[in-house]
């Protein structure tokens, strides 16, 4: 996605080219949009193909800003 990036930390590349995590918060998806809601939607779209055993992603990022934007 041209308007988004995924950053990672707490990861390392294994000998077999898999990315391994050390646990905790290891990814940050960021995206641009004309509105905060659009940017949020694009950031979550970046995460759809990134999964591993025990992975978890929040679904409430930016809700306060979106609420302000809609009022």
Over the stretch 7-27, which tens digit does the pLDDT of each residue have? 989 889 999 999 888 878 888
For the whole model, what pTM was predicted? Answer: 0.75
Q: What is the pLDDT of residue 58?
A: 85
Residue numbers of the chain with a pLDDT score lower than 70: 1
Alpha carbon distance 69, 60 (integer Å)? 15
Q: What is the pLDDT of residue 26?
A: 84
* Residue found under tokens 């979106």: 66
Return the CATH number at 60. Answer: 3.90.600.10
Residue 29 β-bridge partners: 6
Q: Which residue segment(s) compose the domain that 53 sits in?
A: 4-70
Q: What is the pLDDT of residue 1?
A: 63
Structural domain count, the chain: 1
The string over 5-32, giving b where at least 16 C-beta atoms fall within 10 Å of a residue's C-beta and e elsewhere, is eeeeeeeeeeeeeeeebeeeebbebebe
Q: What number of residues does the chain have? A: 71
């Amino acid at each position: 996605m041209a308007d988004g990036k995924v950053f990672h930390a707490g990861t390392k590349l294994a000998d077999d080219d898999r990315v391994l995590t050390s646990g905790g918060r290891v990814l940050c998806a960021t995206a641009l949009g004309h509105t905060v809601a659009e940017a949020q939607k694009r950031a979550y779209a970046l995460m759809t193909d990134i999964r591993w055993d025990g992975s978890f992603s929040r679904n409430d990022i930016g809700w306060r800003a979106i609420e302000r934007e809609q009022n």
